[in-house]
Amino acid sequence: MESDPTDRNQRELPKTDFQSKKEIKIQAEDVLEEWIGFSLCGFFIGLFFSVIPSTWDLVVDFLLGYEYLGGIEKIMNITQTEIEKFDINIKDIPDHCDFLSNNTSGLIYEFLSSNTSGYLEYCDLYNNTSGYIEYKCLETHKIYGILTLIITLLPGIHWYSVRKTNHKLTKFLSSLFFPVFMIVFKIGHLFQQGSLTAEQNLLVDSCVAINEDMMQLVLQIYVLIRTYETKEITTLQVLVISWSLVMASKAAAEEFIVSKLKREKKEQGVTKLFHEIELYQEIELYHEMDLKTKWLELAKQMPFYILLTTFRVLSMGLIITVFNYYSVIIYACLFLAIIIIGYINTWQDKEFLTRGLRSSVTTVDDRFNAEKIFQTYWFFVNMAFVLYIALDANYLNPYPLSTVRLLNSVIRVIAGTGSLSFTLFIQSRQNNEVDEFEDKIRLHQETNDKNETNNLLHYIVEDFSKGKGHGIVSYCLYHCRTHYKTWQIFLLGLYRLVMTIYEYSSMCWLGYQHLQSKDPIWGIVTIIIPFLPGIEWHSYYKELAGSRHRLAWFLSSLFFPFTVIASRAMAVVAPGKSLRYINQRLNGPRMQWGRVPELSLQLFIIFNNGEIFNDFPFLLIYSCIHLGILFCGASWMDSQQTVFRKYEQTTPEHTTPWRDVAKMLPFCFVTIVFRIFSFSLTLSLFRYLAIPLYFLLILISILLQRWQNPASNSFIMEGTKSIFTMANKEYKDEVTFQVYWFVCNMILTLTLTFFVKMGAGFGEAINLGDLGIWNLGLYNYLEFDNRFIVQDIAAFDAIVVTICSTGLVSLGTFFIWKKLKVAENDNEEIEIDKEANKSEEGAEEFSDTQPCHIEAEPSIPLSVNEEIEIEKEASKSEEGAEEFGNMRGMEKWCYICVSNGLVLDIAYGARENKITLYERHGGDNQLWKFQDGFLVSKGGLVADISGVNANEAVIGQDQHQSMNQKWTKEGDCIQNQRTGMVMQVKDGKMESGTEIIMSTKNSPFFNQMFFIVPEN
């Protein structure tokens, strides 16, 4: 019997509604699952206490910078009394000021009429009823405006140095455009409220507090004191100073609380581990606290940090204002002293330099005994300078009354806040506990540093201590008659030493001459340039010196010219391979950051102010000779560095055959002439506009380098270096940059030539229809008439022809050299220069230096029988139970944990990436299995060591049956079978992102202890 269709539809309708409601419910639950972890309360807390304050901080800084640049209107007047008493003339009124009113008496009217021309019409318009002249001026402070805006970018430098990531390009861009990144990141944190994001947000605030808020405070205090009598304090200045004070104090207090809680939690974990006791309450980190607990913690610290910040920034601003340019020398000496003191008496880690610099404005250590050193130092130093200023202003060299009143008010505030902050520090942080935990870490660190001997400095000291320089004169007189090559090496080293001394002494002499001329600023820059290479040289410390010589390496970088002279002198006395290698490495920074900037600066001075040589004709002759020597020296050095980069990784002794250097010399010479002349000409004519122009060009070059070599970690340095020289060691990688800079420099040179030749009238007041009348003339806008190189049109034409010809020759030479593979190093058939080998053999008696193995050799050489014995020991148990102790059961996937629960993690699971600590998330790069002596990751890689010395990183690598990749378990330590060293958490920092390194075994020690936790 068939049912009624109508009834059937009615019966199915409720079922359809039920299914629809169920589907809607499932969709809603899926959406809600994606929002798990989002808190509306956390959203508003982040909005009102993080995003809005940071945005407001940036907005007021930008507004103040714009106010300085755009100008501030100020109403001024000249009274009859001032004219009679101070002999003020109306000509003293700036031309850009406007007269508002002039109610003058007859006396003033006659004075103005008889002593000025061009202002008589103003006087005729005004009624002569009272005795003053009122006018309005628009005061601009471009330097203050530029500095105010630049300071907002400073946190990016700190962010780049502390950010740990493998995304190098993202790291670079986020640091370069830090204000934009900060706002975007904080807005993203409103929706992604995880623990790690909150921790990164605190790091962002810390970078802003020290590098932006603190520096902004110092600058504005300086401006306020400096312009107190000539400029009224504006509302924006008050807002910036007060807001920066609050934000800087808050961020410094948060940084202290974060550091303190991390240390206490680490100590708690060690106590629990060693004493095997259950603690009543786990310590909660700052970013894990609720809002109420955070504010309670902040309330305890804010009074101290407000007083401390006020004391430090007022002291620094006052010292800079009073001592002016001399304050640079004063603070350089003060910083150097506290860096050395801090390194000797506190931590000797890689942060010692940053810690010393930051200590001038805030606290740097949560331990009382360590921080007491910095607090005491800066308290007494600032108080001493403030006391001297007070005596000088009131008694020794009395200042004007209004200035004395201002200085006395500032000094009272400094004295009060300094005394209170120091007293609060002693009372609130002093305790009777001894930092035993920190002492253990420091002792362990010193032990590791002493064990680290396989570095370049060790070989140099070893060479020199063997007495190679003993009796050098008598040795040469006796032996050089029979050993011609030894005599040749000695003379070559002596020639290099003399030329190095000449180079630096000539720079100092030129700088002194410029100081005596009309432009002393160029003299200061000329003297500073020889020290610039030390910035890049300092970045080599880990590779060449190791952690044991951090302070010595810093000092060698700071006084770079003296380091170069000392290394050249040592090469004369002890010409070993170690010194030869270090001198070649020194030449890289010397050429890129020393000779090239010096050449550009001297050409810039000639192009702009060549008339100064009319008063100093000898200076012009000497400058030309000096430029010629620098061009030849820079070209040879660039050629040497190009060949050196090609041979460094493949030639065991890192030799640079002179024949290959000579082959590269023509290309390097024309390239340097082309790049430096075009750069100097562009900089001379564009002036300040050249800064954003080259900023954009270098940024594009860096992005090209990243795109060309995505695996390179030095793409920023290589992209920047490409502006003057060949930055890549392979021809195929350099093609893009040769073409790029050729096109850029030719376009800039031809554009400038076009506007110079067209003259002042070209492009003035062009009617563009609906767009109105535009002024497209660069000649008048950039004031070409004031440039010496434009006034001498014959010299300008010669420079342009030189740039165009050398540009074409350099590009053509590059492609010819690329086709012929000039100085190309074949990895399969390496031919070391025979003359260099003969020279070393001939000088064997004179210099018995052992080869400097920069690429680490095994510290524990193993014979074939020893390797067989190790293989037998590793195969005693198929399950790996005997050699892995309590890791029995690692035939299944497990986590390898440290005391606080963090696990070993291959960064991003990528080959050759470092193994670090990270929070457990269950990824394949965190799961491990012990198999045939290998620690195998679930992602397919195995644990490997990047070198055989102490402090080398543990990395993830493809399995290749090397002893580097085989491990055993000794107690709770994981030991490498090749070196005998064990895994260790770097610097004992039990936090996400900390690297795992190799170290000698210290028993017992918490940062060498690892535990096994099954996957399920």
Residues belonging to the chain: 1016
| Residue 553, pLDDT above cutoff 90 | no
Per-residue pLDDT averaged across 231-250, rounded? 88
Q: So what's the pLDDT on residue 457?
A: 58
Q: So what's the pLDDT on residue 807?
A: 93
Q: Residue 583 and residue 49: Cα distance in Å, rounded?
A: 53
User: Collapsing DSSP states into helix, strand and coil, what is residue 144?
Assistant: helix
Q: What is the pLDDT of residues 729-743, one digit of tens each?
A: 777 888 889 999 999
How much of the chain, in percent, has pLDDT values that exceed 70?
68
Is the alpha carbon torsion for 152, 154, 157, 158 positive or negative? negative
Nearest to 330 by CA among 373, 272, 382, 379: 382
Read off the pTM. 0.70
Per-residue pLDDT averaged across 36-63, rounded? 85
- 365: confidence class by pLDDT, cuts 50, 70, 90: confident
Token pair in block for residue 1004 = 């017992």
Nearest to 265 by CA among 415, 366, 158: 366
Per-residue pLDDT averaged across 5-14, rounded? 45
| Residue 43, pLDDT above cutoff 60 | yes
Per-residue pLDDT averaged across 224-250, rounded? 86
Token pair in block for residue 868 = 């067989």
Bridge-based pairing of strands 132-139 and 928-931 is unpaired
Q: Residue 332 and residue 453: Cα distance in Å, rounded?
A: 32
The residue that leads in pLDDT, 190 or 481, is 190
Per-residue pLDDT averaged across 888-907, rounded? 81
Q: So what's the pLDDT on residue 265?
A: 75
Q: Residue 337 and residue 330: Cα distance in Å, rounded?
A: 11
C-beta atoms surrounding 367 within 10 Å: 16
Q: Residue 675 and residue 682: Cα distance in Å, rounded?
A: 11
Q: What is the pLDDT of residues 155-184, one digit of tens each?
A: 988 888 887 776 778 888 888 899 999 999
C-beta atoms surrounding 73 within 10 Å: 9
Least trusted range by pLDDT, from 52-61, 335-344, 813-822, 853-862: 853-862
- 423: confidence class by pLDDT, cuts 50, 70, 90: very high
| Residue 266, pLDDT above cutoff 80 | no
Per-residue pLDDT averaged across 557-585, rounded? 82
Least trusted range by pLDDT, from 355-359, 422-426, 503-507, 853-857: 853-857
Q: So what's the pLDDT on residue 650?
A: 46
Q: What is the DSSP string of 865-930?
A: HHHHHHHHHHTS-TT-TTTTGGGTTTTS-EEEE-TTS-EEEEGGG-TTPBEEEE-----GGG-EEE
Q: Residue 907 and residue 916: Cα distance in Å, rounded?
A: 7
Per-residue pLDDT averaged across 558-582, rounded? 82
Helices marked H in 610-689 — which ranges? 612-615, 617-647, 658-686
| Residue 137, pLDDT above cutoff 90 | no
| Residue 310, pLDDT above cutoff 90 | yes
Amino acid (1-letter code) at residue 548? R
The residue that leads in pLDDT, 230 or 21, is 230
Q: Residue 677 and residue 530: Cα distance in Å, rounded?
A: 20
User: Collapsing DSSP states into helix, strand and coil, what is residue 116?
Assistant: coil
Q: Residue 988 and residue 438: Cα distance in Å, rounded?
A: 10
- 382: confidence class by pLDDT, cuts 50, 70, 90: very high
| Residue 105, pLDDT above cutoff 90 | no
- 812: confidence class by pLDDT, cuts 50, 70, 90: very high
Q: So what's the pLDDT on residue 394?
A: 76
Amino acid (1-letter code) at residue 911? R
User: What burial class does residue 814 get, using C-beta atoms within 10 Å of its C-beta: 0-12 exposed, 13-18 middle, 19+ buried?
Assistant: buried
| Residue 128, pLDDT above cutoff 70 | no
| Residue 523, pLDDT above cutoff 70 | yes
Q: So what's the pLDDT on residue 773?
A: 45
Is the alpha carbon torsion for 488, 493, 496, 501 positive or negative? negative
Q: What is the pLDDT of residues 277-303, one digit of tens each?
A: 444 456 677 777 888 888 888 999 999
Per-residue pLDDT averaged across 467-488, rounded? 47
Q: So what's the pLDDT on residue 547?
A: 62
Measured in degrees and rounded to the nearest 5, phi and psi for residue 590 equal: -60, -40
Q: Residue 603 and residue 627: Cα distance in Å, rounded?
A: 9
| Residue 848, pLDDT above cutoff 60 | no
Q: So what's the pLDDT on residue 91?
A: 52
Q: State yes or no: cis peptide before 1004, omega within 30 of 0.
A: yes
Q: What is the pLDDT of residues 670-701, one digit of tens each?
A: 999 999 999 999 998 888 888 889 999 999 99
| Residue 114, pLDDT above cutoff 50 | no
Least trusted range by pLDDT, from 43-47, 588-592, 780-784, 810-814: 780-784
Helices marked H in 35-51 — which ranges? 40-46
> Nearest 5°: CA angle at 406, between 402 and 411?
145
Q: So what's the pLDDT on residue 591?
A: 87
Q: Residue 252 and residue 49: Cα distance in Å, rounded?
A: 16
Q: So what's the pLDDT on residue 857?
A: 36
Q: Residue 651 and residue 642: Cα distance in Å, rounded?
A: 14
Per-residue pLDDT averaged across 880-885, rounded? 38
- 15: confidence class by pLDDT, cuts 50, 70, 90: very low
Q: So what's the pLDDT on residue 419?
A: 93
Sheet holding 973-976, edge to edge: 967-970, 973-976, 982-985, 996-999
Q: So what's the pLDDT on residue 879?
A: 39
Least trusted range by pLDDT, from 471-485, 699-713, 985-999: 471-485
Q: So what's the pLDDT on residue 853?
A: 35
Q: So what's the pLDDT on residue 766?
A: 54
Q: Residue 673 and residue 634: Cα distance in Å, rounded?
A: 10
Q: Residue 280 and residue 886: Cα distance in Å, rounded?
A: 28
| Residue 324, pLDDT above cutoff 80 | yes
Q: Residue 705 and residue 733: Cα distance in Å, rounded?
A: 9
Token pair in block for residue 847 = 């210099």
Write the CB contacts of 808 (distance below 8 Å, at least 6 apart in sequence): none
| Average pLDDT of the residues of the chain | 75
Residue 407 host element (H or E):
helix 401-429
How far out from the chain centre does Cα 647 lie? 29
Asked whether the beta carbons of 993 and 914 are under 8 A apart, the reply is no
C-beta atoms surrounding 670 within 10 Å: 21
Asked whether the beta carbons of 199 and 287 are under 8 A apart, the reply is yes
C-beta atoms surrounding 514 within 10 Å: 26
Q: Residue 492 and residue 498: Cα distance in Å, rounded?
A: 10
Token pair in block for residue 451 = 């064990």
Token pair in block for residue 992 = 């996400």
| Residue 745, pLDDT above cutoff 50 | yes
Q: So what's the pLDDT on residue 675?
A: 93
The residue that leads in pLDDT, 693 or 444, is 693
Q: So what's the pLDDT on residue 318?
A: 92
How much of the chain, in percent, has pLDDT values that exceed 90?
17
Asked whether the beta carbons of 813 and 823 are under 8 A apart, the reply is no
Per-residue pLDDT averaged across 588-602, rounded? 88
Least trusted range by pLDDT, from 274-278, 567-571, 586-590, 793-797: 274-278
Beta bridge mates, 253? none
Asked whether the beta carbons of 987 and 913 are under 8 A apart, the reply is no
The residue that leads in pLDDT, 990 or 124, is 990
